Amino acid sequence: MWTVIAELALLGLAAGFLAGLLGIGGGMIMVPFISTILAARQVAPDLAVKMAIATSMATILFTSVSSVRAHHKKGAVRWRVVGLLAPGIVLGALAASLGVFALLKGATLALVFAAFVFFSATQMLRGGKPAAARQLPGRAGLLGAGGVIGFLSGLVGAGGGFISVPFLLWCNVPIHAAVATSAGLGFPIALANVAGYAVSGLKAGGLPPYSFGYVWLPGLLVIASCSVMMAPMGVKAAHGLQVDKLKRVFACILYLLGAYMLYKGVSQL
C-alpha cells in the first residue's frame, strides 16, 4: 500500500512540474505510469489503460488551476483565445468521453495515444517557422479547432497541450504564450471529459475498489495533491528557459512516452 502511495506521489510531483513547464496538463506523463500501477494491482490491461486515461484527466482539474494561476500572474495567458476555444473543446470532449471512449478497446486507445504523441513531438522538433502573415482563425475556426482538441484529449486523457501548443505556434503565438494559454484550456477540457468518463464507466465490469466510473479515486487524490504543489515551479522554469530549449524538452518527453504506449498497445493486440 505505502509503495503504491509513494509511486503515485512521485508521479504527481513530476506531472505537476511538467504541467507548469510545458502546458500539457501532465496527462501525457501520467497515462503510461498509472496504467502500469493499475495492471500491477490485477486490473485487466484493457481496463487499466481506460482508467489511466480517465484518472489522469481528473487530476488535470486540479493541476490546471494551479498552473494557469502562475501563468496568469506573468500575464502570459491569452484569455480571449481560451474563451473562443472553450465551447468547441467542451463539445468535442463530451463526444469522445461519453461515446467513442467506452466503445474502443484499451489497446486501440494506447495506439491512438502513441500516434498523436509522435505527431506532436515531430512538429516541435521540425522547428520550421510559420508564415509571417498567418494568424489565429476567426470565431468559427477556433470553435472547430476547439472541437478537435477536446475530442482528441478525450481519447488519450491529456489536457490538450499536445495539440493546442503546436496549433498556437503554427498561428504565430509565441511559445510562452502558447504554453500558458494551453494551461488555461486544461480546466474546461478536464471538466467535460471527467463527466463523460464517470458516466460511461458506471456499468463497466472489473473496476477496482473506490472507482467512480473509469476514474480511480485513490490515484486521483494522491497525484492531484502532489501535482498542485509542483505546477508553479514548472511555470517559473518555463519562463526562464530559452524557446529552443523548451521545444526540445517538450519533444523528447513526448517521444519517450509515445514509444512506451506504442509498445503497450501492440502487446495487447
Amino acid at 149: I
Mean per-residue pLDDT of the chain: 82
Give domain limits for the chain.
2-268
Per-residue pLDDT tens for 203-253? 888 899 899 999 999 999 999 888 888 877 877 777 776 656 776 777 787
Residue with cell 512516452: 257
Is the Cβ–Cβ distance between 159 and 25 less than 8 Å?
A: yes
CA-CA distance, 60 to 239, in Å (whole number)? 21
User: Number of C-alpha atoms within 13 angstroms, CB side, residue 66?
Assistant: 28
Instruction: State the average pLDDT over residues 130-149.
Output: 82
C-beta of residue 70 within 8 angstroms of C-beta of residue 182: no
What is the pLDDT, as a whole number, of residue 214? 94
- The pTM assigned to this predicted structure is 0.78
Q: What's the average model confidence in pLDDT over 176-192? A: 86
Cβ neighbours for 108, distance < 8 A, ≥ 6 positions apart? 265
Instruction: Check: CB of residue 130 under 8 Å from CB of residue 169.
Output: yes
At a CB cut-off of 8 Å and minimum separation 6, what does 247 contact? 124, 125, 127, 175
**In whole angstroms, what is the distance from residue 19 CA to residue 234 CA?**
7
Tens of pLDDT, residue by residue over 59-110, are: 888 877 777 887 788 888 899 999 999 999 999 989 988 878 878 887 888 8
**What sign does the CA torsion over 189, 190, 195, 199 have?**
positive
